[in-house]
Every structure is written in structure tokens, then in C-alpha cells.
Structure 1
Amino acid sequence: MVFGPGSQFHRFFDDPRWALAMIRATVLEAAHPQIGAALIDNSTFVAHPWRRLRNTLLSLQRMFGPDDEVRQREAARLNRLHARLNGADERNRPYDAMDPQVRAWVVATLFESTVTMCRLSGQPLEQTDMEQLYAEFQAFLALLGDQAGHLPPTLQEFWTYYDHTVETELENTQALRVILYKLFDHLPAPPLLDGLPTVWAAGRALAGPVIGAITVASLPEPFRRRAGLPETPGARTLMQSAYLAAGLARFLPEGWIQAESLTSLLYLSPDSDDPRAATITALRDRMKRTGALFRLLTPFPVQPGPDEGDEGSGPRRSAGEFFTAVLDQTGDGYLDWPDLAAMARELSSRLDLDEPQETRLYSAYAEWWKELQAALDSDRDGRVSKEEYAAAVPSLAGPALIRVAEVLFEATDRDGNGVIDADEYRALFRTGFGRTVAGTGDSYARGAFVKDFLSFMSGRRRSAAYDPLLAEA
């Protein structure tokens, strides 16, 4: 079976080793000049890595799941997403996410990293299993509709293609350097640990360099040599130990480790009405006490989060905080179209929008970008800096932003009855009325929805609904 529970891919989806393989594959993708440029210009992986991880896992689950209709809709969504990603890198070389050769390389890194994962953990794939897995990834690429640039037809030809690409096309790109030397060392806390910066900083200080060293050691030797990546003494032993240790999870009872459950747990807010939230709240209380002990024993230079700081700070934040947390989705220090496109992409994904609603939402955000650019881009360089935003009128709520709110309401109101009910609300915010909106009763009217959206997007008020959607990592 190519897709569904009987596939080779389905065996690996909940395998802890696959986390290491995914990181490795992402680095090899980022080393491709076109992919690296697209990541730097458009991706939220720096500012919102946990959201990116969750969305990637959800997409793979849809594509390799048993439901053919879901698979077809996800393929169409990915094609629409990729069609919007094009431009030029810092050396003015064009990139296009619809380039079939680029898409083939993304799939190639996932396949090869899975094979390498098995080999490094002492459980190499049998030839027949490897050929079946390769056929599944070929089918994945074919489902996207590419007519050219498919992966090589046979597994033997694939290894020639893979080695040639590694040796001649990959580069030490900016995106690769960000992943290896910035992301791991500055990885923001997942929502589960939000507000516990001391505890997170302590764990990250230990784990970040280790993950980076393991990843570098696992990369193909020809590329490491050409890219000048350092080889830390003992890194290969550490890498093999990590893969072997993760491979021991096969002895755990079936169902104990599920990628979807673990990811949703990391993304679970204590404010959620999920039944697990009470347990999370108790866990956070214990971790806060641990954090207090760390502050006494170690001088970690971190600022208090909302749970560890002053209780009287109120629901507002400064213009600079709002700019960094909400507007600068790509984390490059500026506001431009890719940031607002990332918001539209996240909202479309949450609501699982099809055409033409998805395009309507993107178009509304594009009009808002024009409005912001005209009002705030004082030096006319095509983007808005934090200083330009803070110096102008951060509470702008013009017609274009109002239109974004209206389009978002219409997209959320799936039955078109003029109000958002509990199920529709949960589809967007992943939580219930009682936790986030006071006085909604059994529905959320258009006027109240638009008012709350404008308050968040222009008034810089924190929101129990919108912060997890657009501000959290």
C-alpha cells in the first residue's frame, strides 16, 4: 500500500528517531540555494518554529493518510502555497517553489534522511522495504502534479542523483547557518513552557549545541567539507548514540509515542479547555518553582515572562513588543509582505480553506499591506522597520484592516448564518468560548468578532484567542 496504515512511511511517523531525521532533512533542504532563499524570505521557521513543525507534521499526515479526498485537498493546498513563493536571493538568483527540481529535492531529503536514520540507529532497511519507501515518496511527489523533475525512476538511479546534487548544488546558505547556529541556540519556548524562560533557557543551553553537533555530524561528508562545517570532537559518537537511544523506543508498548499527540501537547496553552490543561497547569507550577531555584543558583540572562513577571503589567504591550511578537512573522526585524502572507497562510491552514476563500483572505491582507506601506514606510525602502512602526500611529485601523477582519469572519462562519458557533470558533482558535471570550453566550456575532480582531491587530492588546494563533512560537 502506497498511502495509509500499511505504508512504510506510516511506520516511521511516530518513531522518535524521525525527529532527528526531520532536522537533518531540513538542513539539507536549506542548503539548496533556491530553497534556502525561499526560507529566508518567506518562512516563519525562525520566529515560529513550533508552529512550523506542527503544520509540517499535519501536512505529512494528511498526504500519507488513508483518506484520498483529504490527500487531494492537501496536495492542492500545497500547490497554492508554493505558487505564492518566488523571488530572488541575495545574489539576485531567482527562486521558485514550484520548480519541479526543487520540489524533488525536498522529497529526496526526506527519503534519504529516513534511510540514514535507520542505518545510524543500527536497524538498516531491507532492500525491499527501501524500495517500497522510495515508491511512496515518488507517489507523494506525483500527487503534487509535477510533469518534470520527478525523482529518478529507480532506487539505484536515485543514489547517483542524490550524490551529484550534494556534491555540486548544495551551498553553505544563510538559511543553513541560521538553522545550525541561531535557531538551536535561540529556539523560543513552545507554548507549553511559555512564561518559564529560566527553565527553558537552562534546557536549551544544554540541548541546543548537542542537537547542532549531532546534525552536522550526520550530514554527507562531501557537503560538510565543501561548506566548511566544523567537526566537533566526539560528535560522531554522540550522533550514533543519539540515534541508537532513540531507536530503543521500538521496545515501548505500541501507541505510547504518537507524534501528533506530542506536538499538540507542546502547543497546548494552559488557558485551553483541553482536558489535559489542568495537568499542564500543575506541571507549570512545579516548573515555576524549579525556575526560581535556577535563578538562585545560575545567572541565566533572561527576562521574566508573563507568568514570572509583575502581575500588574496589564493586558497591553508596547509597540515594539507587538511588532516583534505579531507583525514580524518571519523574524527578520522588518514588516513586509511575506509577514502578512504568513498570517494569511496560518489562518487559511487553521480553517482548512479552499478556493476562492483562501485567495480572498490573501487579497485582503495584500490590501492591508498596501495601506500599511503607504502610512508607515517613511524611507520608501519597501518595508517597515520597528522604528518606523513605533514612530507612526501603531493603532492604525483603516478600511483594509477592517476588510481583513470581515473576510476572516466570513471564512470562519462556515454555515453562513451570520454568527460563529462553538465548533466554528474552535476550528480557528483551538479552544472554547468560555476560555477566551467573555459574554459570547452560544455564538460570536460579526460586530464583536471584528471589534476584537481590530483591538488585537491595531490596539496591541494581548488576547487569549489571538496570541496563541499569531504571536506564539
Structure 2
Amino acid sequence: MAADVAMQQVERPVGAPPDPRRRRAAKQHRGGDLSDGMFGLSLMAGSANVIMQLARPGVGYGVVESTVDSGRADLHPFKRARTTIGYLAVVALGSEIEQQAFRKAVDGSHRQVRSGADSPVKYNAFDPELQLWVAACLYKGSVDLYRMFYGEMDDDEADRHYQEAMAFGTTLQMRPEMWPADRDAFDKYWQEQLDTNIGIDGPVQKYLYGIAAVRMRGVTLPGPLHKLVEAPMLFITTGFLPQRFRDEMRLPWDAAKQRQFDAMIAALRMVNNLTPGPLRRFPFNALMWDMRWRMRTGRPLV
């Protein structure tokens, strides 16, 4: 595989024609389904996708200033991860009743997330425009991951996945007509957002760096162990980011790091292809079971 493979995938528009050098890998992937085998891999890129989402100031300050302490990733990272992963699992695998139940639970937390008089930007967690941006980041991240690990989908399959990804937003308050009409329209929307609405300032950058480097108040590691964990986690997160977001975060990257990242992806691709389906889908399959158990027993979903 040519150098800088991973970088080529994250910088490519989602509407770009399939790369003929990588089409065979997608055909060899059983089912060619984003949900088949992508769930476990998506955990690796989770922090990078959070950075992309919070790069829009309305989302960033909505999280940084949130008074819903139980949902803050810096205070309760494992609970926050369970909620986020559970949401993605319900969107992809849940029934309409399950999606409605999860939406009601998430709405309960979102009602408290509104800008105050001293907030540097106005925001509201029910703002469908902000939810559209979050959904766009989730979709863009899933396409980038698929290209890295499986190759290219044909146009029909890519279009089907694009329409399915609308549910990332419509499961909450985003109206269906807000989702760009097709993949080319999505690329236009994405570039417009990069040009006009993206910017990470000091408070949001500090918050996001803490997540990327595992410097969260809710995670306590012994000093030596933390030093062992911080560098590789920061490297992985930076590797999954498009360059624009690395620049916003002031995260250094060069050709040598890119080659190391590509080598890591190549090794993980081999391991992933040999891993049984249930393990590839972990922990999303486990959290779907947990969510259904919570619904049956009347326990909180978030």
C-alpha cells in the first residue's frame, strides 16, 4: 500500500469516485456493511470524532459549559462513553420503539444545555443545525474508517449508507430535509462548515486536549502509567483527524508520524480481518443488550 494511505482517506470527499486501488478490499469484506465490524474499530477514532464535533463553537461550548455533570466526559468518562456508544448502537441496530425511548432519555439531559448570559457563543442542545453538524461528523468519520480498513464501496452501496446515516440526526431533532440531498451536496456542506463555522479556541482546546491525552478529572492513573498511556493515545487521536482539525488543536504531525500511523492501521487491518464478527462488534452489541435490559427493568438509559 502506498504511503500516507490513512491521510488520503480522511482528506478525500465522501462523494469522490471509488479509488480503484482499494475497491477489492471492500468486496472482500463480508456484507460491506458499515455496522459489520466497524463498531469496535470506531472506538479508536472516538476522541478524534469528538474533536471534530466540538470544533463548531456552539457544540464545543455546549459541552464545556454543561451543568449536567453526570454527562461530562471529563468527570464521568465511562458513563459518557456508555451513553454515546449506546446512542450509536441504537441508531444502527435498534427498533423504532428503542430509538424513541433513547431519544426521550437524551432529551432529558439536553434540556439543560443552553447558553447563558456570559457564554461566548449562543447554543442550545436542541438546535437542529448543531445536531446536523454532529451527525455529519459521525457519518464522515464512519466513511473514513471504512476506507482505511476495508477499501471502497461502489456508488450504490455508498449512497445507501449515506441515506441511512441521516438517522444520526433524525433520531434527535434534526429534520430529514436538513440532511444534504446526496454525497456531493454533503461535501459542499462540509466545506462550507470548515470555511465559516469551525474554530477551536482556548477553553475548548484545553477540554479536548484533556480527552485526547486522557487527562480527565474522572480518570486517575498512577504517574508512570499515565505517561505510558498519554503519548500513544494522543498519537492515535491525531492520526485519525483531518489536517484542518489538527491545526485547530495545534497538534503537530509530519511525514514520519504519518508512516507510523499507516503501519499501525495496516497491522490492525490484518487483526480485524481475522477477528470473529461478535468480537468486532463489541462493545456495541453488549451495550445494546444493556440498553434493552434497562428498558425492561425501568432503569435510566443515560
Q: Which residue of 1 aligns with 2:123?
A: 95
Q: Summarize deviations over 1:178-203 as a string: whole Å, max 9, x none.
A: 2224652425787xxx8xx54xx544
Q: Which amino acid aligns with 2:253?
A: E
Residue 142 in structure 1 maps to residue 170 in structure 2: yes
Q: Summarize deviations over 1:279-309 as a string: whole Å, max 9, x none.
A: xxxxxxxxxxxxxxxxxxxxxxxxxxxxxxx
Q: Which residue of 2 aligns with 1:245?
A: 267
| TM-score, reference length from structure 1 | 0.48
Q: Distance in 1 between matches of 2:111 and 2:283?
A: 27
Q: Which has the higher contact order (CA 8 A, sep 6+)?
A: 2
Secondary structure of the structure 2 residue equivalent to 1:87: coil
Residue 11 in structure 1 maps to residue 36 in structure 2: yes
Listed as ranges, the gaps of 5+ residues in structure 1 are: 1-5, 265-348, 353-413, 415-422, 429-468
Q: Which residue of 2 aligns with 1:23?
A: 47
Q: Which residue of 1 aligns with 2:62?
A: 38
8 Å CA contact 1:24–1:215 kept in 2: the answer is yes
Q: Which residue of 2 aligns with 1:166?
A: 194
Q: Distance in 1 between matches of 2:164 and 2:176?
A: 18
Q: CA deviation at 1:12?
A: 4.3
Q: Which amino acid aligns with 2:53?
A: E
Q: Which amino acid aligns with 2:36?
A: R
Q: CA deviation at 1:104?
A: 0.5
Paired residues in the alignment total 261
Q: Which residue of 2 aligns with 1:346?
A: none
Q: Which residue of 1 aligns with 2:204?
A: 175
8 Å CA contact 1:167–1:223 kept in 2: the answer is no
Q: Which residue of 2 aligns with 1:71?
A: 99
Q: CA deviation at 1:25?
A: 1.2
Q: Distance in 1 between matches of 2:117 and 2:225?
A: 35
Q: Summarize deviations over 1:73-98 as a string: whole Å, max 9, x none.
A: 22233334323311149663211111
Q: Which amino acid aligns with 1:85?
A: V
8 Å CA contact 2:110–2:125 kept in 1: the answer is yes
Q: Summarize deviations over 1:242-271 as a string: whole Å, max 9, x none.
A: 33333221222232344237977xxxxxxx
Q: Distance in 2 between matches of 1:133 and 1:157?
A: 15
RMSD: 3.4
8 Å CA contact 1:115–1:124 kept in 2: the answer is no
Q: CA deviation at 1:99?
A: 1.1
8 Å CA contact 1:35–1:102 kept in 2: the answer is yes
Mark the CA change 1:232 to 1:90 in structure 2 (over 3 Å): closer, same or farther. Answer: farther
Q: List aligned pairs for 1:323-334, cutoff 5 A.
A: none
8 Å CA contact 2:39–2:284 kept in 1: the answer is no
Q: Which residue of 2 aligns with 1:379?
A: none
Secondary structure of the structure 2 residue equivalent to 1:231: coil
Q: Summarize deviations over 1:149-180 as a string: whole Å, max 9, x none.
A: 72211111101111221232111233343222
Q: Distance in 1 between matches of 2:173 and 2:32?
A: 21
8 Å CA contact 2:62–2:123 kept in 1: the answer is yes
**Largest Rg, 1 or 2:** 1
Q: Which residue of 2 aligns with 1:260?
A: 283
8 Å CA contact 1:152–1:158 kept in 2: the answer is yes
Secondary structure of the structure 2 residue equivalent to 1:34: helix
8 Å CA contact 1:9–1:64 kept in 2: the answer is no
Mark the CA change 1:183 to 1:142 in structure 2 (over 3 Å): closer, same or farther. Answer: closer
Q: Distance in 1 between matches of 2:245 and 2:117?
A: 21
Mark the CA change 1:91 to 1:187 in structure 2 (over 3 Å): closer, same or farther. Answer: closer
Q: Distance in 2 between matches of 1:256 and 1:186?
A: 28
Q: Distance in 2 between matches of 1:243 and 1:56?
A: 24
Residue 104 in structure 1 maps to residue 145 in structure 2: no
Q: Which residue of 2 aligns with 1:454?
A: none
Q: Which residue of 1 aligns with 2:226?
A: 204
| TM-score, reference length from structure 2 | 0.72
Q: CA deviation at 1:37?
A: 0.4
Q: Which amino acid aligns with 2:227?
A: A
8 Å CA contact 2:34–2:146 kept in 1: the answer is no
Q: Which amino acid aligns with 2:35?
A: H
Listed as ranges, the gaps of 5+ residues in structure 2 are: 1-30
Q: Summarize deviations over 1:89-141 as a string: whole Å, max 9, x none.
A: 96632111111110001011111011111223362333333222211111342
